[in-house]
Amino acid sequence: MKKRTCQILALLLILSAIPGANRAASREPVRARNGIVATVSEIASRVGVDILRRGGNAIDAAAAVALALAVTWPSAGNLGGGGFMMIRRADGSAEVIDYRERAPLAASRDMYLDREGNVIKDASTIGYRAAGVPGTVAGVALALKRHGKLRWADVVEPARRLAAEGFTISYPLARSLQGSSRLLAKFPDSNRIFLRDGKFFEEGERLVQPELAATLARIKLNGPREFYEGKTARLIAADMKMNGGLITERDLKEYEPTVRKPLTGNYRSYEILTMPPPSSGGAALIEMLNMLEHYKLAEMGHNSSESLHLMIEAMRRAFADRAEFLGDADFVKVPVEGLISKKYADDLVRTINPDRATPSSEVKAGNPTGYEPQETTHFTIVDREGNVVSNTYTLNGGYGSGATARGTGVLLNNEMDDFTSKPGVPNAYGLLQSENNAIAPRKRPLSAMTPTIVLKDGKLFFAAGSPGGPTIINTVLQIIINVIDFGMNIQQAIDAPRIHHQWMPDQIQWEPLGFSLDTKRALEKRGHIFRERPGYIGDAHAVMIDPKKGIRLGASDPRLGGAAVGY
């Protein structure tokens, strides 16, 4: 076994040194004349296409897909979490449905600290006290009410049927469930539903979720507020009380999503529509694009040491600003206009040495106020009319807090870890965050989710997003650069190897076989530090419009086996 492992490692090293070995052939995007649904689950993608075939628009399909993924992709698809839905109508109007979770009324700034003021291990990530008030059901219902064509019951039914009748487990899902068994086994309902009390599901078996089906049946019959004011709410609140959680019936009853305006920027004459706070993703994305616009990346070559060096330096500076300034703009002042200012990017670029890495210890947050005017999953959908939805939602960690609310089949999020438990102490993703993101009742935790839409000459060009915690922002950044600077089609842009740097810790995350040894060594000579082991980054899903023919192009990430389906 040891000899075999050594042979494999040797082969990987040889391949990584071969020119072009990190440029694996990419399949063509899915092509369709009418509409495309791109998600991590082929079953959910087909649910969305069926809604489009029945006369629904992209928003109807998005609601159905979001609910279906709660059944077929339980590590991130959810009823017990939250997220952001970016909508652009065919008439050019655009808005964001912010259905991010909120801190319960009983939450407090230091709730995860012990008597000595130290962060309590796992307190913000595992179990009932880690959960924020869920927003998914309210969020998709609001989107449907404002922009949909079909009835609520029509978009709930496919998910209810999948939960009641079951679906065939894929290899990625079987592997995911087994990989999370230590977490899920801590909670009786999660252990019973997802692990069969230790008799792990295998690829090809059927997963039936009767409690979740009953919950979906209730919200189908009684409407989305049933989740917040009916039997489901009472079941969640009772289980919370029994297990030391903070969410009450009042928390659920008072939850409402928020409608926001997208952040807008531009990059090499393309218009970027992306996420405002409480997501940090949009501001960081535009800040990085503004810096990179100063350089002729296309002439440097895709993933060359020169272009990667500049991307890493831009990432380093944007994430330093993220740590200092970002939070829920409903609670704290966030200098968004300064962060996305072209003039601010001019200042940051002057601090970048084209030949040497800047140690993160020497990179501090900038002064954007000087320019101020006084696992997760993603799916993307475009319909026949040109309406587009880019939606990212999550339980935060894979399977969230690990707890399933008794009698509901609903996995609960662990989004409270996205708050600052203690300034200067990293969260589960290694992110440092400031007092701006401190816990407060009803406050939304800072997010990295970055559903984004790119326009060309005022028309939809492509839309994309990804899960992956803080890596989301840099995944979307690299997709945009791959398309605009390096001329890739949307599938190539998603398939291409990725990197990630988040200021602290001062290290580069990288993908297996992503870069030649020469490129890696050249970056190390510049002073960059690589994480010891590589790992895959993100799981992007996107749609694009062929500007000449109007054909819809769909692309799903091969990293988790997703599927784009068109009609």
Three-state DSSP string of 385-447:
CCCEEEEEEECCCCCCCCCEECCCCEECCCHHHHCECCCCCCCCCCCCCCHHHECCCCCCCCE
Do the bridges between strand 410-411 and strand 30-32 make them parallel or antiparallel, or are there none, so unpaired?
Answer: unpaired
Give CA–CA dist 163/409, Å, rounded: 10
* pLDDT at residue 25, as a whole number: 72
83: nearest Cα among 386, 321, 390: 390
Question: Is pLDDT above 90 for 365?
Answer: no
Q: What is the reported pTM? A: 0.92
3-state SS string for 521-534:
HHHHHCCCCECCCC
Residue 299 burial by Cβ neighbours in a 10 Å radius (0-12, 13-18, 19+):
exposed
- Whether 23 shows a pLDDT value over 70: the answer reads no
Residue matched to tokens 């189908």? 220
Res. 66 pLDDT band, cuts 50 70 90? very high
Q: pLDDT tens digits, residue range 460-500?
A: 999 999 999 899 999 999 999 999 999 999 999 999 999 99
Over residues 233-256, the pLDDT tens digits come to: 999 999 999 999 999 999 999 999
In a 3-state reduction of DSSP, which class is residue 290?
helix
Report the pLDDT value the prediction gives residue 547, as an integer from 0 to 100.
87
Is the backbone of residue 473 left (phi > 0), alpha (psi -120 to 50) or beta? alpha
Polymer length of the chain: 567
Amino acid found at 148: G
What lies within 8 Å, CB to CB, of 410 at 6+ separation is 78, 79, 80, 134, 212, 215, 232, 236, 404
Find, among 528, 240, 223, 561, the residue nearest to 377 by Cα: 561
Report the alpha-carbon distance of residue 80 to residue 528 in Å, rounded. Answer: 40
What pLDDT score was predicted for residue 27?
92
Torsion over CA: 279, 280, 283, 288 (sign)? negative
Q: Which two tokens stand for residue 210?
A: 């009767």
The radius of gyration of the chain from alpha carbons, rounded to an integer in Å, stands at 22
CA–CA gap between residue 367 and residue 197 (Å, rounded): 54
Q: Among candidates 22, 17, 54, 59, which has minimal Cα distance to 37?
A: 59
pLDDT at 429: 65
- At residue 271, does pLDDT exceed 50? yes
* C-alpha 457: how far from chain center: 27
Looking at residue 498, the DSSP 8-state letter turns out to be -
What are the catalytic residues? 376
Classify 80 as helix, strand or coil.
Answer: coil
Nearest-angstrom CA–CA distance, 35 and 64: 15
What does the alpha-carbon distance between residue 513 and residue 93 come to, in Å, rounded to a whole number?
A: 42
> Which residues does 21 contact at the CB level (< 8 Å), separation at least 6?
15, 513, 516
Rounded Cα distance between 352 and 347, Å, is 10
Q: Determine the pLDDT at residue 91.
A: 97
CB 396 within 8 A of CB 117: no
The average confidence (pLDDT) of the chain is 93
DSSP codes, 161-225: HHHHH-EEPPHHHHHHHHHTHHHHTTSHHHHHHHHGGG----TT-EE--HHHHHHHHHHHHH-TT
Average the pLDDT over each of 44-48, 76-80, 373-377, 395-399 and give the range with the smallest value: 373-377
Residues in a beta bridge with 391: 85, 379
Res 404 pLDDT > 80: yes
pLDDT value, residue 155:
98
Residue whose C-alpha is closest to residue 374's, from 340, 341, 335: 335
pLDDT grade for 371, boundaries at 50, 70 and 90: low
Q: Which two tokens stand for residue 338?
A: 């300064």
Write down the pLDDT at residue 513: 86
- DSSP secondary structure string, 443-487? PPPPB----EEEEETTEEEEEEE--STTHHHHHHHHHHHHHHTT-
Instruction: Write the pLDDT tens digit of every residue in 128-187.
Output: 999 999 999 999 999 999 999 999 999 999 999 999 999 999 999 999 999 999 999 999
Report which DSSP code applies to 264.
E
Which pLDDT score is estimated for 431?
A: 66
Instruction: Indicate the pLDDT class of residue 15, thresholds 50, 70 and 90.
Output: very low
Nearest to 392 by CA among 47, 62, 141, 44: 62
Residue spans of the domains in the chain: they are 41-76+104-259+403-419
Model confidence pLDDT, tens digit, residues 546-558: 988 999 999 999 9
Q: At 63, list the tokens.
A: 């609601």
Rounded Cα distance between 421 and 109, Å, is 7
Residue 546, pLDDT score: 94
pLDDT exceeds 60 at position 373? no
For residue 432, pLDDT over 80 is answered with: no
* 8 A C-beta contact, residue 10 and residue 2: no
Q: What is the mean pLDDT of residues 306-332?
A: 93
pLDDT at position 251: 98
In terms of phi and psi (left: phi > 0; alpha: psi -120 to 50; beta: otherwise), the region of 269 is: left
Give CA–CA dist 77/430, Å, rounded.
23
Residue 48's pLDDT band (cuts 50, 70, 90): very high
Split at pLDDT 50, 70, 90, the class of 436 is: confident
340 or 547: whose pLDDT is higher? 340
Model confidence pLDDT, tens digit, residues 380-390: 999 999 999 99
